[in-house]
Structures are given as C-alpha cells and as structure tokens.
C-alpha cells in the first residue's frame, strides 16, 4: 500500500528508481560472472587447438563467454578468422575471406 502511494506521488523517473534499475542490471551481470563455471578457459584452449588445425590462429582470435539473461543461459563462442591463413593439407595456403 505504501508502495502504491509512493508510486502515485513520486515522479516516475525519480533518481531512486533509476538507481534501482541500474543496480539490477549491473548486479545481474556481475553475479553471472561470479558463478561462471571454470571450464571456460579449458574449452577456449581446446577450441583454439581444433580450429587451429585448419586455420592459423592466435590466442586473441577466440572468445568464449557465458551469458545469463532471465531463464536463458547462452554460451557465446566468437572466432575471428578474417585475414587468417587457411591450412590445407595439399597445395598452398589460401587467404580466408569471411
């Protein structure tokens, strides 16, 4: 009830409500990072090894992140190979255009 009256008499975008929204977003993000499983670095290393068999790769060309938004968790794997040299078993290396 008190909350109802508060919302009635308070400007909709009071600085307190902005603070609350900002906190909710930043904490959701930080809590997700805090509980990140420790297999991520290992996964990243193995992916690098596998992809590296076909394309010349360096460590900074792969990024693995786990994101939580609401009920959905998503594993995001970002591999950048633009300009990377393809490794082909036969013939000369080709430039990968992606």
Partner 1 sequence: MAAETDLKKDAPIGPAKAGGEAGLAKVIVITSGKGGVGKTTTSAAFAAGLALRGHKTVVIDFDVGLRNLDLVMGCERRVVFDFINVINGDANLNQALIKDKRHDNLFIFPTSQTRDKNALKREGVERVMEELKQQFEYIICDSPAGIEHGAITALYFADSAIIVTNPEVSSVRDSDRIIGILASRSRRAERNEPPVDVHLLLTRYDPARVAKGEMLAVEDVKEILSIPLLGVIPESESVLRASNTGTPVVFDENSPAGRAYVDAVARFLGEQREMRFVQPERRSFFKAIFGRA
Name the residues that contact partner 1, by CB under 8 A: 3, 6, 10-11, 14-17, 19-20, 22-24, 26-27, 30-31, 34
CA–CA gap between residue 32 and residue 1 (Å, rounded): 33
Place of tokens 């633009």: 82
CA–CA gap between residue 17 and residue 11 (Å, rounded): 9
Q: Closer to partner 1 by CB, 36 or 93: give it.
A: 36
- End-to-end CA, the chain: 58
Q: Closer to partner 1 by CB, 14 or 58: give it.
A: 14
Shortest distance, CB of residue 20 to partner 1, whole angstroms? 5
Q: Closer to partner 1 by CB, 20 or 45: give it.
A: 20
Shortest distance, CB of residue 2 to partner 1, whole angstroms? 8
Q: Spell out where 1-98 has E strands.
A: 62-69, 72-79
């Amino acid at each position: 009830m008190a909350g109802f009256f508060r919302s009635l008499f308070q400007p909709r975008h009071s600085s307190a409500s902005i603070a609350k929204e900002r906190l909710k977003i930043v904490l959701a993000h930080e809590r997700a990072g805090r509980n990140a499983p420790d297999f991520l670095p290992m996964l990243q290393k193995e992916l690098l090894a596998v992809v590296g068999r076909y394309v010349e790769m360096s460590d900074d060309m792969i990024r693995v992140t786990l994101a939580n938004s609401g009920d959905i968790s998503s594993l995001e794997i970002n591999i950048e190979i633009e300009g990377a040299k393809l490794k082909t078993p036969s013939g000369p290396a080709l430039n990968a255009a992606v």
